[in-house]
Structure 1
Amino acid sequence: MGNTLVQSQMRDVKKFLEAAIIEFESFLNEATLSGLIQEKEGNIEYYKMILSNIRKLLVFCEECLEVCGIIVKNEPFAKAAAEKTLYRVYHQCIEEFFSPKSDAWFEESRSAYTGKNSIKFREETPLSVKELFRKLEGPFQKIREELEYYETDYRTKMIQSK
């Protein structure tokens, strides 16, 4: 993949991460466990898991944004580092958004065909959490489609270099 395409993707991903971080921070700055329970009575342990996963997503996005910022500013452009970072964004941010390791929620693959939101929660969830994911799902899906190339390409390069 050419330098200009990778540079362009890095800039797009950087903007995406900046916007996602704002949304996650805004939510987490207002959300509390007791607030979620007041909003909708439910499983406290599940609510804790949801908040924990959102915090992890925020940290992953912040870490990747920091690396993206460094790579975008560096001259000459470090294409290999950029590709590695895009791969990391795909796995740490995008994949974790759609399918967290804790299984607090999951992606309903058939939703793509119906035009509905694909994030489904395992248990009843407060509306504020659902709204956060509705707001972010489109941008995450768009970046996922742009970065799917790195899912196979970067891994293939790593295997070949061994």
Structure 2
Amino acid sequence: MGNSMVKLQTEQTADFLKTVVFGLSKHLNSVTTDSMLEEEPGDRLFYEELLSNFRRLTVFCEEGLEACSIITQTEPFRKAAAEKILYRVYHQCIEEFFQPKHDVWYEDSRSAYTGKNAIKFRQPVPLSVKQLVAELESQFQQTREELEYYETDYRTKMMQSR
């Protein structure tokens, strides 16, 4: 892929990450475990793990955003470095969204056929959490499709260099 296409993809990924960081940060800054329990009585430990996943995802997305911003502003543009960053964003951000560390939600692969949201929570969650994840899901899905190429391409290059 040419430099201009990789640079454009890196800029688009930065825009995506900016939106994600804003949405997650806004939610995290306005919610506590206690407020979630008031909104939807449930398992405190589950809610703590849910918030932990959101914080972890926010950190990964902030790091990816910073890396994308730096690489797009560097002259001359370093295509190989940008591809490595896109690969890292795919694994640290996209995969973390669809397969979170604490396993508080999962991706229902059959949902692609039904047109419904793919993210299913292991336990009931407050409506605010459902809305947040639903808003982010379509953006993550689109970005995953766009970055799958870099995941495959980067892995192939790494295997060939051995």
TM-score, length-scaled by structure 2: 0.98
Q: Secondary structure at the match of 1:92?
A: helix
5 Å-filtered alignment, 1:85-96, equals 85-96=85-96
Q: Secondary structure at the match of 1:130?
A: helix
Q: Secondary structure at the match of 1:77?
A: coil
Unaligned runs of 5+ in 2: none
Using the TM superposition, give the Cα deviation of residue 89 of structure 1 relative to its aligned residue in structure 2, in angstroms.
0.5
Q: Can you list the C-alpha shifts for 1:21-40, whole angstroms capped at 9, x where unaligned? A: 11001100101000000001
Unaligned runs of 5+ in 1: none
Q: Distance in 1 between matches of 2:117 and 2:48?
A: 23
How many residue pairs end up in the alignment?
Answer: 162
Q: Can you list the C-alpha shifts for 1:68-121, whole angstroms capped at 9, x where unaligned? A: 010000011010110000001101001111111221100000111111000000
> After the TM superposition, which segments of 4 or more aligned residues of structure 1 sit over 6 Å from their partners?
none
5 Å-filtered alignment, 1:73-84, equals 73-84=73-84
Name the counterpart of 1:120: 120
Identity, in percent, stands at: 59
Using the TM superposition, give the Cα deviation of residue 150 of structure 1 relative to its aligned residue in structure 2, in angstroms.
1.6
Q: Distance in 2 between matches of 1:53 and 1:72?
A: 28
Deviates more, 1:45-54 or 1:101-110: 101-110
